[in-house]
Each structure stands twice: as structure tokens, then as C-alpha cells.
Structure 1
Amino acid sequence: MPQKGRWTHYLIPRIDVWLNRSHGEVNFYLTQMLSGHVCFREYLHRFKHDNSPECPSCPG
């Protein structure tokens, strides 16, 4: 089974309900968290707690 989008689907199982909600807004940080592309690894690399600053989910 393809894993692409599984994290977001886990957080938002029904996109229709999410789109029609009456509160909250999506911002840069929420988008990063929902997509699983938060810059945590880059932060850890700065302090030598990870071997690479690159996101393992992003190409290139």
C-alpha cells in the first residue's frame, strides 16, 4: 500500500469535514506539520544530533 499522504490522512480522515470547518486557519507551521515536512532534522543537524540536514521525504 502506498504511504504517500498517510500521515495527513491519519490527521484528517475526512477532508470534506476539514474544509467546511468554521474555525481555525492554515498557516506555514500547520502546513509543515500536516505534510510531515517539518524542519526538525535540519535543526537537529545544526547541533550534530543528525548526520544530514535533508528531509528524508523530499527528493534531491
Structure 2
Amino acid sequence: MSEKKQVRVQIDKELADKTEKVLNTVGISTTTAVNIFYRKVASTGKIPFDIDSKKRK
């Protein structure tokens, strides 16, 4: 088994609540979702979706 590293983030409560609702609907935990994201970034060397570089309002 590989060594684990804890990652802590602060995120807007409303955003977290909405996201957790979606994740619960598809049956995955926040930890699993973050692991999926990290694995995709590591395997492709890029963010797995477009990021709008325009300043957000």
C-alpha cells in the first residue's frame, strides 16, 4: 500500500454542499472525487477541463 498524504482545503460552504449532494447522488465520497481528479491530472499532465482565463465576477 502506498503512503498517504492528507490535503486540506478551504472551500465555500454553499459550493461544498452542492457538490457533496451531486457526489452522493452518484455514490462517491468527496475523498474519492478528489482522488479521481488528482489521478487524472497526474496521468495527463493537465487540468481535465477548460478553465476560463477571463477574470471572474
Q: TM-score under structure 1 normalisation?
A: 0.24
Computing the radius of gyration over CA atoms, which structure comes out larger, 1 or 2?
A: 1
TM-score (ref. length: structure 2): 0.25
Q: Which has the higher contact order (CA 8 A, sep 6+)?
A: 1
